Amino acid sequence: YSIKNVTGLNLLPFVIYDDPFDIIAHLMVGSEGTLAFLSEVTMKTEHDYPYSASAMLYFSNIKDACRAVVAMKPGPVFSAELLDKKSLASVNDTTGTGLTAVLTETKADTPEELQANIEEIKKILSPFETVTPIHFTDKPEEYSKYWAIRSGIFPSVGGTRRPGTTVLIEDVAFPLKELPEATADLQELLVTNEYHDACIYGHALEGNFHFIISQSFDSPEQVARYEKLMDEVKTLVVDKYDGSLKAEHGTGRNMAPFVKYEWGERAYGFMKAVKELFDPKGLLNPGVIFNEDPHCHLKHFKPMPLTNAHVDKCIECGFCEVNCLTCGFSLSSRQRIVIQREISRLKKLSDTESSERLKTLQKQYKYLGNATCAGDGLCSMSCPMGINVGDLTHDIRQANLPEKSIGYKTGDFVANHFAETKSALRPVLYLANMAHNMLGDKVMSSIGQGLHQIGVPLWTPSMPKPYYPHRIQQHEESLKVVYFPSCINQTMGTAKDSPDQTPLIDKTVALLQKAGYEVIFPENMKNLCCGTIWESKGMMDIADRKSAELEAALYKASNGGKYPVLCDQSPCLHRMRKVMTQVKLYEPVEFIYTFLKDKLVFSPIDEPIAVHITCSMRKMNLGNMLVDLARLCSTKVIVPEEVGCCGFAGDRGFTYPEVNAYALRKLKPQIEKAGVKTGYSNSRTCEIGLTTNAGIPYISIVYLVDKCTTSKNKCHEQPA
């Protein structure tokens, strides 16, 4: 235990503790479920230093980098993470070819202590030649990028592997004084075994490295090559440097054959005796740590079949799951990929058992994988490879809707008769609103729930009234903007209990005119749509057709792209930006913050408000701008924690409201605790779901800005 070592079981408790309870408790930690499982854990945290600084140090070779790490060990260095040349290449580092980097961090309780630490580290490093000057930054927006690179190495390297191969990661540790030579030997070992895409990176300050390889197991020759590598790694680490084969992660089946080799017969026998006391029948995590088969690491390989070009690079690391709203509800984004790979594998087999399994998976996936996927793409934001499982879902939906199907024909009919479709929806909203007024929330909600049980989209009290298009008074101004109201806002008005009953289109025009803009609407607006409706259903050709129609109309209305174009629905604007190139596109927050802020006088209200950052705003990096704009309007802005995608996903909140409820399960307690009465966002459908699950009305941020501003030019003031 002089160096990091988690191979096998932790025998140290027998040395340190006398109380059996203490021995048992510490034996369990890190035992990988071979002795018991922990149902609940209380952790004590370390001191969190308020000031920190980081530097990316570049060296010409891996030996020099490790020598610098050894020198820094006694200094005020809190971490030193090594990134070899392949690691840097995987994240497109352009500093130079063949370099090795060390990401170094120091921390302190005061700025003065932090600066003193930096100077001491620079002094330690003065004998070493770095490729670039040593530069420490204490700015979070700068050093967070360094650490994002470090945390993304594993999936990034894995994402560059040859499709169909498996990415494998191991972690070893060497005595620190021998780190330069040991690391160079490990690098050479990988090269001589022709793992040219392998990388070495990790916690150099502790002598602990990960190495990543891409491996194919589809032939005996490839398996033999892998066996030779692992045997040579064992010899290098254990025999030559007296290191540890597992420094911090689980032993698993890949290193189980070598536990006895590293520890020796006596210590290994002691571990087995402990295992037999806890688990005499060998039921807990069999084959892990304790495995009598010396070739167990060369059997039962997990297949990685190709399934869809959008996700084939996935290594199933799970980074995406933090942003997947259905993780823990139906399937996570990672699980969707895993199951689609299994479906693709089973399709190539013809035996009865495989066919039955295939049918079962395909049937279960319809709801758990397809129907409950919001397709929002937030999973791509925490994936270093940018893999968007929403693209996979759209492809699956497209495959399930061939051109001759009823679903496709219905979508095509709606696209060709869009104005008539919206006109038909307005009377439905009108009748539902009348019934709501007459029967009240409780009775109407019961009716809505009953109808939903037989397949009717769910009605809730947050459902809006219809919006009937009408002529809006225009004013000719020198500043011009093309305003395209989304089709949802051309159809839906405000909800019954909305704090402002002015329809959003009217409110947006009033705000624009208050700031001195002439508003231009595109021709034939009632038939135009961005295409998001069809994209979400997998009808990509219809979606692109509608987008092209809209772009042509916006180009003409904007005088050949001269005037900016505003869309009042952030998801629609996000798609428009993806497919349109001839016009300058803005969503409300961006347009207000960029063009209207200096033309309005803000008078912030002294009451708490909540804001919801939509998925599309997150993907367009506009979340901070929404919060900043809200803070110009209110002294108390609440951004609820652990609330990402709302799960409404266009119209799916009407058909699968359980996904919306699960996604927003942590919202209402925070709203109630903060005493918020009104929430603001940037998407009409999201606002319906937010209102339903938060217990307060959510409306467009346009209403808040209009409420809290007056025109700097009094002649542009419009009556409320």
Residue 641: the pLDDT is 93
pLDDT tier, 717 (very low <50, low <70, confident <90, very high otherwise)? low
Residue 705 · residue 633 · CB < 8 Å: yes
The span from the CA of 102 to the CA of 58, in Å, is: 7
Do 4 and 84 belong to one domain?
yes
| Same domain? 279 vs 362 | no
Mean pLDDT, to the nearest integer, of 89-108? 93
pLDDT in tens, 273-312: 999 999 999 999 999 999 999 999 999 988 889 999 999 9
> What integer pLDDT is reported at residue 266 of this predicted model?
95
pLDDT the model gives residue 308: 95
Per residue in 407-437, pLDDT (tens digit) is 888 888 988 988 888 888 889 888 888 888 8
* Closest C-alpha among 555, 524, 529 to residue 543: 529
| Lowest mean pLDDT, pick from 600-604, 660-664, 714-718 | 714-718
Are 218 and 116 in the same domain? yes
Is the Cβ–Cβ distance between 449 and 529 less than 8 Å?
no
pLDDT of residue 687: 94
pLDDT of residue 499: 92
CB atoms within 10 A of CB 425: 14
Q: Is residue 490 part of a domain?
A: no
Does 219 share its domain with 353? no
Q: What is the rounded CA–CA span in Å between residue 513 and residue 718? A: 8
Q: Rounded to whole angstroms, how far apart are CA atoms 136 and 119?
A: 10
DSSP one-letter string for 423-444: HHHHHHHHHHHHHHHHHHHHHH
Q: What is the pLDDT of residue 433?
A: 87
H helix or E strand, kind and range, residue 703: helix 701-707
Residue 634 has pLDDT above 80, yes or no: yes
Same domain, 26 and 81: yes
Of 372, 399, 426, the residue that ends a domain is 399
* Domain assignment of residue 67, yes or no: yes
69 and 215 in a single domain? The answer is: yes
| CATH for 249 | 3.40.462.10
> Can you name the residues that pair with 208 across neighbouring β-strands?
173
Range of the domain at 169: 1-304
> Is residue 479 within a helix (H) or strand (E), and if so which, with residue range?
strand 479-484
* Section 203-216 average pLDDT: 94
Residue 572 lies in a domain: no
Contact 516, 475 (CB under 8 A): no
Give pLDDT, residue 472: 80
Nearest in space to 530 (alpha carbons), one of 438, 650, 629, 612:
650
pLDDT digits (tens, 9 = 90+) for 563-577: 999 999 999 999 999
Whether 273 and 212 map to the same domain: the answer is yes
Give me the number of domains the chain comprises. 2
Tell me the pLDDT tens digit for each residue of 578-603. Answer: 999 999 999 999 999 999 999 999 99
Amino acid at 208: N
Task: Using pLDDT thresholds of 50, 70 and 90, give the confidence band for residue 712.
Answer: confident
In a domain, residue 23? The reply is yes
Mean pLDDT, residues 206-210 taken together: 95
Name the 3-class secondary structure at 302: coil
Task: List, in order, residues 6 or more apart from 137 with CB less than 8 Å away.
Answer: 53, 54, 55, 143
Q: Quick one: pLDDT at residue 146?
A: 93
> Tokens at residue 366, please?
């319809």
- How would you class 435 by CB atoms within 10 Å of its CB: exposed for 0-12, middle for 13-18, buried for 19 or more? middle
Pair 298, 324 in one domain: no
More confident residue, 640 or 405: 640
Of 270, 304, 338, the residue at which a domain comes to its end is 304
Q: Flag whether 185 is in a domain.
A: yes
Q: Give CA–CA dist 104/101, Å, rounded.
A: 9
CA dist 481 to 144, 229, 248, Å?
38, 64, 58
When pLDDT is averaged across residues 498-511 and rounded to a whole number, the result is: 94
- pLDDT at position 528, please? 93
**234 and 359 inside one domain:** no
CA dist 327 and 91 (Å) reads 27
**Residues 343-355: pLDDT tens digits?**
999 999 999 999 9
Token code pair at residue 338: 């895993």
pLDDT at 716 over 60: no
Quickly state the pLDDT bin for 719 (edges 50, 70, 90).
Answer: very low
Radius of gyration of the chain from Cα atoms?
A: 30
How far is the C-alpha of 90 from the C-alpha of 183, rounded, in Å?
A: 20
Residue 533 lies in a domain: no
Q: Is the pLDDT of residue 65 over 50?
A: yes
3-state secondary structure of 195: coil
3-state secondary structure of 216: coil
Predicted model pTM: 0.85
- Regarding beta strands 565-567 and 479-484, do their DSSP bridges make them parallel or antiparallel, or are they unpaired? parallel
Tokens of 247: 């420094």
Q: Average per-residue pLDDT in the chain?
A: 92
Which residues have C-beta within 8 Å of that of residue 4, sequence separation ≥ 6?
173, 206, 207, 208, 244, 247, 248
**How far is the C-alpha of 448 from the C-alpha of 699, rounded, in Å?**
22
Q: What confidence tens digit (pLDDT) does each residue in 22-60 have?
A: 999 999 988 999 999 888 889 899 999 999 999 999 999
Q: Tokens for 597?
A: 């802020």
Closest CA to 201 of 78, 123, 89: 89
**Does residue 334 sit in the same domain as residue 278?**
no
CA proximity to 1, closest of 287, 272, 267, 291: 267
Q: Is residue 124 part of a domain?
A: yes
Q: In the 3-class helix/strand/coil scheme, how is 14-81 assigned residue by residue?
A: HHHCCCHHHHHHHHHCCCCCCCCCCCCCCCCCCCCCCEEEEEEEEECCHHHHHHHHHHHCCCCCCEEE
pLDDT the model gives residue 715: 54
Same domain for 287 and 385: no
If we measure between CA atoms, which residue out of 305, 350, 378 comes closest to residue 619? 378
DSSP for residue 348? T
Does a structural domain hold residue 674? Answer: no
Tell me whether strands 517-520 and 479-484 are parallel, antiparallel or unpaired: parallel
Residue 212, strand partner residues: 169, 199
The last residue of a domain, from among 374, 399, 424: 399
* Residues 296 and 354 occupy one common structural domain: no
Percent of the chain exceeding pLDDT 70 equals 99
Separation CA 500–CA 504 (nearest Å): 9
Q: Cβ-count burial of 404 within 10 angstroms (0-12 exposed, 13-18 middle, 19+ buried)?
A: exposed
pLDDT at 661 over 60: yes
